[in-house]
Amino acid sequence: MAIWVIKGGQREGPYEEQDVRELVYEGTYTDSDLAIRDGQFDWSTLGQVLNRVAATEPVPEPEPGSSTEASPPTVPPLPPEPPPFPTPAAEEPPEIPAGTPPPVPRGPPRAPGPMQVSVVDFQMPFGSMVILMVKWALASIPALLIVGAIAAMFWTAFFALVAAVVHH
């Protein structure tokens, strides 16, 4: 799911979770930076979004009149009622404060095209697995009939050829 981060008053992203974790490790972002993930309705700290900080900690609010760079920017809350479809599209980032400059692209560009995926494990109830295996067995019947018919034609032609050679 896409993650957006506000750093230095600028919204940056969307990033994949692994990319954000690498940027935190590199020191580009900290757990106290404001962030939001697809499907969330409120901005919270990056530590909370990445489950690195307990969610019971409140998001720090800047003191009125203070302008220190260490405090996070003030972000208006999203509407109290969720939209009809709670997960926003990855192309449409959440609302950000008015007057915020456009995001600065960070990280290596993604190459278009397929990505290699390795499935390590999956969990499936036993009953569903039995049903799947029965469906596989039934689906293999037409393939077995076709392969059998081709084999029968091959052996018939082979024995006919052998019989013709032996007969002459």
Which residues lie across from 25 on neighbouring strands?
A: none
* Contact partners, residue 23, CB within 8 Å, separation at least 6: 15, 29, 106, 107
Other beta carbons within 10 Å of 21 = 16
On the question of a cis peptide bond just before residue 77, with omega within 30 degrees of 0, the verdict is no
By CB neighbour count within 10 A (0-12 exposed, 13-18 middle, 19+ buried), where does 65 fall? exposed
Written as tens digits, the pLDDT of the chain (168 aa) is 788 888 888 888 888 888 888 888 888 888 888 888 887 878 888 888 887 765 554 555 555 554 444 455 555 554 454 445 445 455 566 677 777 766 666 666 666 777 777 888 878 899 999 999 999 999 999 999 999 999 999 999 999 999 999 987
Look at the pTM and tell me if it is higher than 0.75. Answer: no
